[in-house]
Amino acid sequence: MSAGSLLNISDSISTSQLGAGANHTIYFTSNSVIVAGQSIKVTFDPTTNAFDGIQNVATSDIQLTGATLVSSCPGSGNNVTLSTSTAAGNESVIFTVCGSNTVASGTKTIVIGNNKIINPSIAQSYVIRLGGTMPDGGDTRVAIIPGVAVTAAVSTNFSFSISGVATGTLINGVTTTGTTASTSMPFGLLSPGIPEILGQQLQVVTNATNGFAVTVHEDQDLTSSGGSSIHVFSNGNATSTPSPWTAPSGITGQLNTYGHIGVTSNDSSGTVFFGTSTPLFGGSFNPTGTLAVFSWSGSADGATQNIGLAMVAYKIQISALQAAGNDYSNNLIYVATPVF
């Protein structure tokens, strides 16, 4: 920085990016009183026409301390008016002291805001000159430099796990009647009219921007070696909109009414609503369908309920017409899909 008789001068700009619109905050301390008719002129590099936008600077873009900016001159005080110049080598913002007014010596601030001053397109330092017809003057500089391109990468992360739950676990308003493992769900001996409920815990850890969805479907209905089946809720209709549990109808000759299995989830924020005070059950997880039982719209930690953690419960109920068999079986298949 160089300065004539100014005690100090500086210019802080809001951005040094090439060609960007910037705000300028100019501080200076003058030794002398500036009298009526004299000017305070801020020249943006007196050797070039590299800055632009100066002609667009208006009174509303200026904040001034140490003097009062007015649109027309009143009586006495420290009032100044604004004008601009775009002449080559004289691109300036000018403050002229009104008649019968004076601006005292001391520290002053000129803020030219609203990003009106457009930076040069060539990287280097440029002189900002403070002068005019006031007694004091001086130069400072601003550096205009290219922006620094910052890049980074974050690896995708996704894991899905299933674990068993114990007897007596409360899941969305129903209580399990047996124990499960991550890869097995043994319902055991079913008795007509008496529901059996087993559950599993689902956990997702991911940094997928748009979250994930977990769906379930079976590879076949629960089927015995004799060819008999326990169909999906309700009465084999593969209910896609979860509804309150109902017992199988048990209508003679209508095999799909002899017994059924449905699923509920305690994921209360997912795309499928399974109820809260009253648990609702879905059945559209048969071999030709799929049912969403857990989903979230952002990153998941594997531990927070509805975000990274949920439990599902499967409920079976049969009527007295369900065919005997000690080997009803199928496989439940979960599909967890991240959405990056």
Name the residue among 268, 280, 291 with its Cα closest to residue 315: 280
Is residue 285 within 8 A of residue 334, CB to CB? The reply is no
Is residue 120 within 8 A of residue 18, CB to CB? The reply is yes
pLDDT > 70? residue 1: no
The whole-number pLDDT of residue 2 equals: 39
The whole-number pLDDT of residue 7 equals: 82
- Token digits for 216? 């379930």
**Secondary structure letter of residue 181 according to DSSP:** -
If DSSP codes are grouped into helix, strand and coil, which group holds residue 230? strand
* Residue found under tokens 């008795």: 191
Is residue 278 within 8 A of residue 326, CB to CB? The reply is no
* Residue found under tokens 């509805």: 306
Is residue 201 within 8 A of residue 311, CB to CB? The reply is yes
Answer whether 2-144 and 158-338 agree in fold: yes
Q: Please state which architecture CATH assigns to domain 2-144.
A: Sandwich (2.60)
Angstrom distances, CA of residue 180 to CA of 177, 273, 319? 10, 24, 24
CATH code for the part of the protein at 158-338: 2.60.40
Q: Using 50, 70 and 90 to split pLDDT, how confident is the model at 251?
A: very high
Angstrom distances, CA of residue 157 to CA of 160, 205, 207, 308? 10, 7, 6, 13
Helix (H) or strand (E) holding 102: strand 102-103
Kindly report, residue by residue over 8-17, the tens digit of the pLDDT.
Answer: 999 999 999 9
What number is the average pLDDT over the span 165-190?
98
* Residue found under tokens 């600077």: 57
The ranges assigned to domains in the chain are 2-144, 158-338
The reported pTM is 0.70
